Structure 1
Amino acid sequence: MASRPTIADIARELQISKAAVSYALNGQPGVGEQTRQRVLDVARTLGWQPSASARALGGFHTKVIGLALARPAQTVAIESFFIRFLVGVETALVKRDWSLLLRIIGDHPDEEVKVYRKWWGEGRIDGVILVDERHRDARIAAVDELGLPAVLCGGPRRDTTMPCLWTDQAADAATLIDYLAGLGHRRIGHIAGPGEFAHERSRQRGMQRAAGRYGVDLISLSVAYDAASAVAATRSLMSDPATAPTAIVYANDLTAVAGERDLKAAGFAVPQDVSVVSWDDSPLTEMVATPITALARETEAYGEQAATVLLDRIAGVDRGRVRVTPSIIVIRESTGRAPAGR
């Protein structure tokens, strides 16, 4: 791996003193505007970026953190998780008079590192929040290599020392299976989100383990986070009356609402024929004819905690692995006892 460019490299390239380079990079008096521009041009060409420790010691904070969402804009607009998460982030930032730089880049996760590299290189941010952890997540090594302070909403992982806020997905899955098995359900469908996301894989493993303890027949399908995919998966699960589940767990509120609506259109009564559960909880779950039981978490608090852990990291305090408050079941009309004989 090539060594990281330093102030000394820039000084050597321009044949000026390191002090002059430092003045130019930090916007301090002591150099002319022409020299300052030459320094900035060479720094950009060499790929120079200030280290986190140098920024902290010098007090050169932009007081801005970055967050890029590699999700389609329409998903972010409909799925309230992100809005509530951002409210929590802003709550923490306002308390310390910091700001958020947000970019929605669509379904292009490979672009996310490019965005962070650009922001960090231009001195526009002091750190980032990484959401939507993936199974093979190239962002982890890239952010570490940049020296960019970050907090991961996911993990815990062995390939990084960055702080992480991790959810015990296995415990959440057990909470769901315990509840549904207690209602007599022995055939359960799980319409999960895309398998590229680490939390979806963890949820599926947790559901399988918990189902095994009760002898529950669990069928998991991974689909996109959209209504059409949820409907297609629901119809697939319910196509054979002999094997159709008596309860279906959906990855989020959007897919749960779409699935419940299609079940009713197909002539199934909710919850008399089939119970419906969502893994998230938002106002969407209560805006349908049969309000949906959901596994709820404190999303605003989660966002506030993520921002707080990042700000502490920027200040030199490493919180390490922080376990998120466990989710709880919010019981509504969409769940009931398994139908007799099934």
Structure 2
Amino acid sequence: MSRKISIRVLAEELGLSKYAVSRALSGKSGVSEATRQRVMELAKTLGYQHRQQAPALQTGEREQEPSAPYILVCMSHAHSANAVYWQRVLNGLLRSCDELGYPSIIVSPEPEPARADHSPQKEIAPHLDWSRCGGIVVMGNLPEAVLSLIARAERPYVLVDHTDDLTSCDKVNNDNIEAGAAITRHLLSRKCRHIALITDEAWSPSFEDRLTGARITIGRQPEGSAKLTEWRIRYGAPWEHSLYERMLALAPESRPDAWIGANDDIAIRWMRKLQSEGYAVPAFTRIAGIDNVEAATLVTPSLTTVNLCKEELGQRAVEALIRRMDRPGAPAETIHLSTRLIVRDST
């Protein structure tokens, strides 16, 4: 007796979720065109009849479309409170989940001593029904202990705006190296010859990537024609006064003639500090940032910056996770979204 060809059978044959197969057969969004073609070809080969085309079935025989698995979003409390960047990334992610028909749940896992009687899933979010979790999106930095739990949770996951060389998984980032390079090239085009980059290496991997882009660009200049100095701060604490004192300790001819903030907030705070001490921008020095937050257009002078995708970053993360859910054996991908230089009055 031949077996009944159902959505479950197709899913098992293709290595896909029942939800993905159902949406492909129904012509709905949420699966790639390549996946849709694979599903339709196998369904035709095996003689599957979609319920919309099949004769009316007896009560109770109608095959129900599987409910969508939920997408778990893991992000720190600090990111949750960041309205100018992370909230916009999250808005893009949630909008994409809604458009594609996936429920979403947001948690902020806290590292705690592991318990032998708890699975990684229960360590991350003990209150959830993990049988319905389709995959995980990790937003920004999380402690290594939490990332280790996520890696062992037996669910596909995607890192967003986070670089972890030890983890083989899909990653969606802005091209932070190019952002650092673009703003440095711009300042060089303004005849700046001593560029200082204000950063906190411990704050975010993206800060280090932006510094790397600046270093690469300066390194390509003729020897001795341009200089890059790194001015380290503790971003989470007041830093403007100590940085200003450090600048004053330099002879006037040794001071930078341009400054890059590792993000717009750093650049704006430094510009305000210099202005409060009587230094004009850009007449005394040029200042630029990276991010293109709304405040960059509101300060005087308006801040030159590099636009980084925010809502699009969240959208692409959902797309990458659905791809991973549909094709669990596919090679891991790292996606870099392009940047755009925005020249304003501060340079």
Q: TM-score higher than 0.5 here?
A: yes
For 1:186-225, what aligned pairs fall within 5 Å after superposition? Answer: 186-195=193-202, 197-214=204-221, 215-225=225-235
Partner of 2:23: none
Distance 1:231 1:67 in 2: 38
Instruction: Output the CA distance in 2 between the equivalents of 1:168 and 1:325.
Output: 6
Could you tell me how far 1:291 is from its partner in structure 2?
0.8
**Contact kept in structure 1, 2:178 and 2:210, CA below 8 Å:** no
| Whole-angstrom CA distance in 2 between matches of 1:61 and 1:239 | 65
- CA displacement at 1:229 relative to structure 2: 2.8
Q: What is the aligned partner in structure 2 of residue 50 from structure 1?
A: none
Q: Counting helix residues as a fraction of each chain, which structure ranks higher?
A: 1
Report the Cα offset of residue 209 of structure 1.
2.3
SS in 1 for 2:292: coil
2:138 to 105, 130, 135: 130
Q: Taking structure 1 as reference, are residues 261 and 326 closer, same or farther at Cα in structure 2, changes over 3 Å only?
A: same
Which residue in 1 is equivalent to 2:75?
A: 69
Tell me, yes or no, if structure 1 residue 174 matches structure 2 residue 135.
no
Deviation (angstroms), 1:119: 5.9
Deviations 1:176-206 (A, max 9, x none): 2111111111111111134253222222222
Residue by residue over 1:150-181, the C-alpha shift from the partner in whole angstroms, topping out at 9 and shown as x without a partner, is 10124665533321124443322221211111
Q: Is the 8 A contact 2:159 2:170 kept in 1?
A: yes
Q: What is the identity, as a one-letter code, of the residue corresponding to 2:73?
A: L
1:133–1:152 contact (8 Å) kept in structure 2: no
Counterpart residue number, 2:6: none
118-127 or 292-301, larger mean C-alpha shift: 118-127
The CA distance in 1 between the partners of 2:86 and 2:280, in whole Å, is 31
Residues 64-84 of structure 1 deviation map (CA, whole Å, 9 limit, x = unaligned) = 222233253xx7545511121
Shift of 1:296: 0.6
Are 2:123 and 2:149, in contact at CA under 8 Å, matched by a contact in 1? no
8 Å contact kept, 2:175–2:338:
yes
- How far, CA to CA, are the matches of 1:327 and 1:296 in structure 2? 6
8 Å CA contact 2:291–2:305 kept in 1: the answer is yes
1:155/1:164 contact within 8 Å kept: yes
CA contact (8 A) 2:70 2:135 kept: yes
- Does residue 299 of the first structure (1) align with residue 310 of the second (2)? yes
Correspondence for 1:263: 274
1:324 partner SS: strand
Most deviating of 172-181 and 121-130? 121-130
- The CA distance in 1 between the partners of 2:93 and 2:164, in whole Å, is 23
Change (3 A) 1:104 1:239: farther
Residue matched to 2:31: none
**Cross-structure match for 1:145:** 152
Per the alignment, residue 98 of structure 1 pairs with 102
Q: Structure 2 stretches of 5 or more lacking a match?
A: 1-13, 20-64, 114-119
Contact 1:188 1:245 in 2 (8 A): yes
| CA RMSD after TM alignment | 3.3
- Residue 116 (str. 1) matches residue 77 (str. 2): no
| Aligned counterparts of 1:79 and 1:143: Cα–Cα separation in 2 | 25
- Is the Cα contact below 8 Å between 1:61 and 1:126 reproduced in 2? no
TM-score (norm 1): 0.69
Conserved 8 A contact 2:107-2:125: no
The structure-2 alpha-carbon separation of the partners of 1:321 and 1:167, relative to structure 1 and needing over 3 Å to count, comes to: farther
User: 2: CA distance between counterparts of 1:331 and 1:159?
Assistant: 37
Matched residue type, 1:129: V
Matched AA of 1:262: K
Give distance in 2, aligned partners of 1:236 and 1:70: 33
Q: Is the CA contact 1:167–1:326 (under 8 Å) kept in the aligned structure 2? A: yes
**2:17: which partner in 1?**
56
CA deviation after TM superposition for structure 1 residue 310, in Å: 1.3
Q: Could you tell me which of 315, 332, 340 is aligned with 2:344? A: 332
Asked if structure 2 preserves the Cα contact closer than 8 Å seen for 1:120 and 1:148, the reply is: no
Does structure 2 retain, via aligned residues, the 8 Å contact 1:190–1:248?
Answer: yes
| In 1, Cα distance between equivalents of 2:331 and 2:67 | 20
Greater mean alpha carbon deviation, residues 149-158 or residues 273-282: 149-158
TM-score scaled by length of structure 2: 0.68
Residue 166 of structure 2: SS of its match in structure 1? coil
CA distance in 2, matches of 1:175, 1:64: 38
Q: Which amino acid aligns with 1:142?
A: L
